[in-house]
Amino acid sequence: MGADPYFPANGDPRYRVHRYELALDYRPGPNRLSGTARLNAIAGRSPLAEFQLNLADFRIGRVRVDGRAQHYTHRGGRLRIRPGKAIRAGAAFTVEIHWSGNPKPVRSPWGGIGWEELEDGALVASQPVGAPSWYPCNDRPADKASYQIAVTTPSAYSVVAGGRLLTRTPKASTTTWVYEQAAPTSSYLVGLSIGKYQTVLLGDPGLGGVPQSGHIPARLLTEFSRDFARQPAMMTLFEELFGPYPFGEYAVVVTEEELDVPVEAQGLSLFGANHVDGGRGSERLVAHELAHQWFGNSVSIADWRHIWLNEGFAKYAEWLWSERSGGRSAQALAGIAHRGLAGKPQDLRLADPGRKLMFDDRLYERGGLVLHAVRCALGDEAFFRMLRGWVTVHRGGAVTTAAFVAHVARYSAEPLDELFAAWVFEGALPALPSPGVAIPERPSYPPSGG
């Protein structure tokens, strides 16, 4: 598998990392970060005379490969390392890097992403290429690894990361928090939040369900308790529909500041204060971010061309939650989405939207409609069996649109080539799917826009 076609400067397909161990020290006042990373990696099919990591503009203290200092260059967000002796094909090797500086978001077509300094703390929102804003990584979604993250910060602050909290060790005026995420994790899905939070439990962990916690500013506790009250029920429903929750625990963080949109990370979702109103005004987003734990996090994409497999599935999970919790049916919500899309440009191909459109609202809505069309074609029993099979077969892995098309075919008595051609590989919007209609009709109106 080669470089990502949307972000060819990010990631290096010539090797893969299977574990990161990060030790960070962060001081919120001066926004000062120093860290040491140890990467356990494996070379690919060819010897490695050099290899690349992605890391933003920090000062590099040292770089070692298998314990020995190495020659490197660090320019334009790329850390190129040349071992004294080429690493043989298939060989395991370790990389140790020390870096320090003032972290900040990296520039992208969507503005700054990655490490974000808050008024009193920090958070990480890395999708799609913001991970190098705070640690050195092989920044490609298909290169998934386990993580151990230790963060030392002043004791007034809490540290929340995706995974299991192993230890919390106070020492003088600082505390060190150590988290372990054993499941394979894409670099952009490594979540971190540093702030002054109250911690609450969601649901009843004594009943044997998935441990769920919330970390929120004290002033928002009352509103949070209403807005996230139904998250345990969402977890129960999604486990029924998609299969067992793929990780050991799930945490949500609400920051003191507003966020444009919530952000999913592995085992963790980040919400802004504007998503908490005490009236469940953002409940669909609570469902959306939870669903990403199955679709996008456990089952990840091989490269960014396939992002609809993340966002379309999470969108459809919103509709399923509405349908099963007393709200509008998926068919009704599909109709609303379809009417909205019909009045917009028909220049979006889900299978390869291009970098410019990969976060377009149309991709989310049309992705949800694809799932609804497949459901209408297969019927509920086969559809949900198909979804559970998809999650089970590809747990911890990376997938493509072609893999999904082939997977769905195993559950259908009729060929669905025309369905996928119309909904995924072509731009014009097909007619609204409805139960029992397997093959979409081509639109009778001329496509609008580009």
166 torsion bin: left (phi>0), alpha (psi -120 to 50), beta (else)? alpha
Determine the residue type at 323: E
Instruction: Report the alpha-carbon distance of residue 270 to residue 215 in Å, rounded.
Output: 10
| Cβ atoms < 10 Å from Cβ of 167 | 10
Instruction: Report the alpha-carbon distance of residue 343 to residue 364 in Å, rounded.
Output: 16
Length reported for the chain: 450
| Burial of 439 per CB tally in 10 Å (0-12, 13-18, 19+) | middle
Q: Is 414 considered catalytic here? A: no
Q: Is 250 considered catalytic here? A: no
Strand partners, 92: 42
Q: Please enumerate in sequence order all residues whose Cβ is within 8 A of that of 12, keeping only pairs 6 or more positions apart, or say none.
A: 51, 52, 53, 138, 140
**147 DSSP assignment:** E
**273 DSSP assignment:** G
Strand partners, 125: 114
Out of 283, 289, 318, 365, pick the active-site residue.
289
Out of 135, 364, 365, 411, pick the active-site residue.
364
| Burial of 89 per CB tally in 10 Å (0-12, 13-18, 19+) | middle
| Cβ atoms < 10 Å from Cβ of 208 | 6
**29 DSSP assignment:** T
The answer to whether residues 194 and 256 touch, using CB atoms and an 8 Å cutoff, is no
13 torsion bin: left (phi>0), alpha (psi -120 to 50), beta (else)? alpha
Instruction: Report the alpha-carbon distance of residue 430 to residue 443 in Å, rounded.
Output: 5
* Strand order across the 92-101 sheet: 68-69, 59-65, 92-101, 32-43, 15-27, 145-154, 174-185, 164-171
User: Please, what is the angle between helix 330-342 and helix 361-378, to 10°?
Assistant: 130
Cis peptide bond N-terminal to 128, omega within 30: yes
Give the residue carrying structure tokens 């999708």: 127
Give the residue carrying structure tokens 């995974």: 163
311 is in an annotated binding site: yes
288 is in an annotated binding site: yes
Residues assigned a catalytic role: 289, 364
**Binding-site residues:** 288, 292, 311
**Binding-site residues for Zn(2+):** 288, 292, 311
